[in-house]
């Protein structure tokens, strides 16, 4: 279901309960369900609100797609470097260098155990870095969306300010002050701020993904390269000597 579908059904005169049943908003992200519930609770006009939510949802879907594409590079780098020693070990065995026979020697077994420990350490460290990148962050657009819904419902600025106190600051309170001080239309300020904020968040996340690709090389290089040497050279030398 998309907000635009629910908006279309309501615009066509479908009763709200039937429109909700047909559109099934339960599959929407949680915060968008909360926005719809808030608009319904406050009595905000649903069709314009749903159109605004559709625009924001498209922004966030685009951001998610861009982040997924940007994250593919560090993920691929991590996978490649972690599996490199293992692939080299197998290739050396296929070439007849006796690496498999070498790891059954006590020294070869110790080298293989150390290599496995280093690979596991690199896997855990890089995994933490990726998890930190993908961790959920505060959403600064929440306060702006709530401000827009509250305004369309006709709430007073005092009530709106009280409501916004429970949301991460995305500049909504500052926009209210600017509007009061200059007489600028608050809805226009919200639209402009949301557009800029969405672009800023997207740019920041892509930049973070690019930096992550470089930072991942530090723990992976410090663990994978020694593991590569431990998993290939000792078994090969032992295999030759035997």
Q: What is the DSSP letter of 43?
A: T
Q: In whole angstroms, what is the distance from residue 229 CA to residue 174 CA?
A: 58
**Cβ(6)–Cβ(25) below 8 Å:** yes
Smallest CA-to-CA distance from 146 within 164, 133, 173 is with: 164
pLDDT along the chain (242 residues), means of 10: 76 76 74 83 83 84 80 80 83 76 80 88 88 82 86 84 80 84 85 86 84 84 85 76 66
- What pLDDT was estimated at residue 163? 84
- What pLDDT was estimated at residue 1? 64
Give the Å distances, CA to CA, from 32 to 1, 21, 229. 11, 17, 52
SS3 content of the chain, % helix, strand, coil (to 5): 85, 0, 15
- What pLDDT was estimated at residue 242? 63
Smallest CA-to-CA distance from 95 within 87, 107, 103 is with: 87
Q: In whole angstroms, what is the distance from residue 234 CA to residue 241 CA?
A: 11
């Amino acid at each position: 279901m998309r907000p635009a579908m629910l908006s279309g059904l309501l615009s066509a005169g479908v009763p709200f309960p039937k429109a909700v049943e047909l559109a099934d908003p339960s599959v929407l992200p949680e915060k968008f369900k909360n926005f719809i519930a808030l608009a319904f609770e406050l009595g905000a006009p649903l069709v314009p609100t749903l159109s605004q939510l559709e625009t924001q949802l498209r922004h966030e879907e685009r951001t998610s797609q861009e982040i997924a594409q940007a994250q593919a590079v560090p993920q691929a780098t991590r996978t490649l470097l972690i599996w490199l020693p293992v692939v080299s070990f197998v290739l050396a065995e296929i070439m007849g260098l006796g690496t498999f026979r070498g790891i059954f020697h006590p020294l070869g077994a110790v080298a293989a155990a150390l290599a496995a420990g280093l690979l596991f350490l690199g896997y855990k460290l890089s995994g933490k870095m990726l998890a930190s990148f993908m961790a959920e962050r505060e959403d600064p657009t929440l306060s702006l969306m709530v401000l827009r819904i509250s305004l369309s419902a006709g709430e007073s600025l005092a009530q709106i300010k009280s409501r916004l106190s429970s949301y991460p600051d995305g500049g909504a309170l500052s926009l209210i002050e600017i509007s009061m001080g200059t007489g600028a239309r608050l809805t226009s300020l919200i639209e402009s701020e949301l557009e800029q904020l969405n672009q800023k968040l997207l740019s920041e996340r892509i930049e973070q993904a690019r930096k992550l690709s470089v930072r991942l090389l530090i723990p992976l290089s410090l663990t994978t390269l020694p593991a590569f040497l431990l998993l290939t050279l000792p078994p090969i030398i032992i295999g030759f000597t035997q």
